[in-house]
C-alpha cells in the first residue's frame, strides 16, 4: 500500500504517520500546504513530504499518480477561519474535499479515511450532565465548520450509492496532545475561557508554572488523547467491510475536578482556580459503533494521556514548553 495523508505534518497527521510507521507501513506521503518539518523530523527518513494544495484537483491528481497512492487519510481542513474568512473555509472544506473524493474515485484509490467532526452535532457548553449522541441522532449544526463536515458526509455517501466509493469518516471529539494549541492558531499556553482548547490550556500552563482557571469542577469534559485518535484512524484503515461508514470517536468523559486533582498530584504547587465559566466544546458521543465494528479500544485514560503529554512537554527545550 502507498498512503497519502493530507495535513500529514500537522497535529493529528503527524501522530498518525508515526502510528502507521510503527505498524510497518513505509510508503507514506505527507501532503501539506505549509509543511511543518519540525513536527515530523523524527520520522523524516520514512516519509515523503510534498508541499501543495489538496483542494486543487490538478495538484492532488499529480501527487496521487506520482506516488501511486492506494489509500488516503484526509485530515487537512480549515477549522477556525469560518467566521473571519467564510469563503476560504467553503473553498477548502467543502469544494476541496469534494474534489478530493472525486479525484480519489477516478484514480482508483482503494479507500479514503477522513476526519469528520462531532461539530455536526453543534458546538455546546460543558455542563454537569452528559447526553451521549449516536451516529443516528439528528445533526444540530450551529457553525460553518459543522455544516461543511455534514455536507462532506452526505457527498461521500452519494458516491457510495452511485459508484461504490469506499470511505470511512470519523466524527472526532475534542482531541488533545502536543501540537493541538499551535493548530488552533494561538500560543501553546491557550486562552481559556472562551475556547474549546481547555485541555491544552490547563495542562500546558500547569507545566509552565503559570496560573490557570478551570471550568466548574462538576462540569464534564471529553478526553481523547491524540495517540488514541491515531489508533482509531488505523483501525478504520484495517477494517474489512464494516457495516457502517460514519463513526463517532471519543475516549472518555470526566469531571473537571478529576483533571484538577490529577494535575495537582503531578504538580503539587499548581495554581489552578476553579472558575464559573463553561468550556466551549463539541457534544458527548456514544462510541459503541466504533468499538464493535472497527475494534477500537482506547489505550489512554485521562490520567495516562495527561502524563504522556506532560512527559513530552518536559522533554522539550524550555522555549518549546
pLDDT at residue 311 tops 70 = yes
pTM of the model: 0.94
- Per-residue pLDDT averaged across 173-187, rounded? 73
pLDDT at 175: 94
Specify the higher pLDDT residue, 188 or 248. 248
The rounded percent of the chain whose pLDDT value lies above 70 is 92
Question: Residue 193 is placed in which grid cell?
Answer: 475561557
The Cα–Cα gap between 83 and 168 comes to 28
Specify the higher pLDDT residue, 112 or 88. 112
Question: Residue 87 is placed in which grid cell?
Answer: 469563503
Specify the higher pLDDT residue, 196 or 23. 23
Peptide bond into 182 cis (omega under 30): no
CA 249 from centre of chain? 9
pLDDT at 110: 97
Find out whether 156 and 170 touch, Cβ atoms under 8 Å: no
The rounded percent of the chain whose pLDDT value lies above 90 is 84
Residue 272: CB partners within 8 Å, gap ≥ 6? 202, 206, 211, 212, 213, 214, 260, 263, 264
pLDDT at 319: 39
* Beta-bridge partners for 115: 170
pLDDT at 157: 98
Which of these, 144, 72, 81, lies nearest to 111 by C-alpha position? 72
Find out whether 74 and 112 touch, Cβ atoms under 8 Å: yes
CATH of 3-174+225-250+282-298, one of 3.40.50.1110, 3.40.50.720, 3.40.50.150, 3.40.50.970: 3.40.50.720
pLDDT at residue 192 tops 70 = no
Looking at beta carbons, which pairs linking 137-140 to residues 24 or more positions away fall under 8 Å? none
Neighbours of 276 (CB within 10 A): 8
Structure letter (DSSP) for residue 143: S
pLDDT at 321: 34
pLDDT at residue 212 tops 90 = yes
pLDDT at 182: 62
Domain with CATH 3.40.50.720 in the chain: 3-174+225-250+282-298
pLDDT tens digit sequence for 116-154: 999 999 999 999 998 999 999 999 999 999 999 999 999
Neighbours of 7 (CB within 10 A): 24
pLDDT tens digit sequence for 31-52: 999 999 999 999 999 999 999 9
Structure letter (DSSP) for residue 216: P
The Cα–Cα gap between 48 and 31 comes to 8
pLDDT at 13: 97
Q: Determine the 3-state secondary structure of 152 from DSSP.
A: helix
pLDDT at residue 94 tops 60 = yes
pLDDT at 184: 45
Please, which pLDDT band fits residue 11 given cuts at 50, 70 and 90? Answer: very high
pLDDT at residue 228 tops 80 = yes
Q: Helices (H) and strands (E) in the chain — how many of each?
A: 11, 13
pLDDT tens digit sequence for 290-308: 999 999 999 999 999 999 9
Amino acid at each position: 500500500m502507498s498512503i497519502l495523508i493530507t495535513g500529514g505534518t500537522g497535529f493529528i497527521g503527524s501522530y498518525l504517520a508515526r502510528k502507521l510507521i510503527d505498524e510497518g507501513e513505509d510508503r507514506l506521503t505527507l501532503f501539506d500546504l505549509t509543511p511543518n518539518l519540525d513536527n515530523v523530523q523524527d520520522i523524516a527518513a520514512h516519509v515523503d513530504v510534498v508541499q501543495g494544495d489538496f483542494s486543487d484537483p490538478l495538484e492532488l491528481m499529480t501527487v496521487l499518480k506520482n506516488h501511486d497512492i492506494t489509500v488516503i487519510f484526509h485530515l487537512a481542513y480549515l477549522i477556525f477561519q469560518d467566521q473571519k474568512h467564510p469563503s476560504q473555509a467553503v473553498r477548502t472544506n467543502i469544494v476541496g474535499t469534494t474534489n478530493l473524493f472525486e479525484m480519489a474515485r477516478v484514480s482508483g484509490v482503494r479507500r479514503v479515511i477522513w476526519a469528520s467532526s462531532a461539530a455536526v452535532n453543534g458546538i455546546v457548553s460543558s455542563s454537569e450532565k452528559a447526553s451521549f449522541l449516536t451516529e443516528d441522532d439528528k445533526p444540530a449544526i450551529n457553525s460553518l465548520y459543522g455544516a461543511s463536515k455534514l455536507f462532506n458526509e452526505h457527498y461521500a455517501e452519494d458516491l457510495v450509492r452511485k459508484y461504490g466509493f469506499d470511505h470511512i469518516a470519523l466524527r472526532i471529539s475534542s482531541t488533545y496532545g502536543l501540537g493541538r494549541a499551535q493548530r488552533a492558531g494561538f500560543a501553546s499556553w491557550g486562552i481559556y475561557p472562551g475556547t474549546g482548547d481547555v485541555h491544552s490550556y490547563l495542562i500546558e500552563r500547569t507545566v509552565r508554572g503559570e496560573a490557570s482557571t478551570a471550568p466548574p469542577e462538576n462540569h464534564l469534559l471529553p478526553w481523547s488523547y491524540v495517540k488514541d485518535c491515531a489508533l482509531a484512524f488505523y483501525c478504520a484503515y484495517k477494517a474489512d467491510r464494516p457495516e457502517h461508514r460514519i463513526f463517532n470517536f471519543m475516549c472518555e468523559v470526566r469531571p473537571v475536578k478529576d483533571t484538577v486533582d490529577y494535575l495537582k498530584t503531578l504538580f503539587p504547587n499548581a495554581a489552578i482556580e476553579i472558575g464559573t465559566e463553561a468550556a466551549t466544546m463539541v457534544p458527548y458521543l456514544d462510541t459503541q459503533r466504533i468499538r464493535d465494528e472497527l475494534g477500537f479500544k482506547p489505550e489512554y485514560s485521562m490520567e495516562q494521556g495527561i502524563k504522556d503529554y506532560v512527559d513530552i512537554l518536559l522533554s522539550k527545550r524550555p522555549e518549546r514548553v
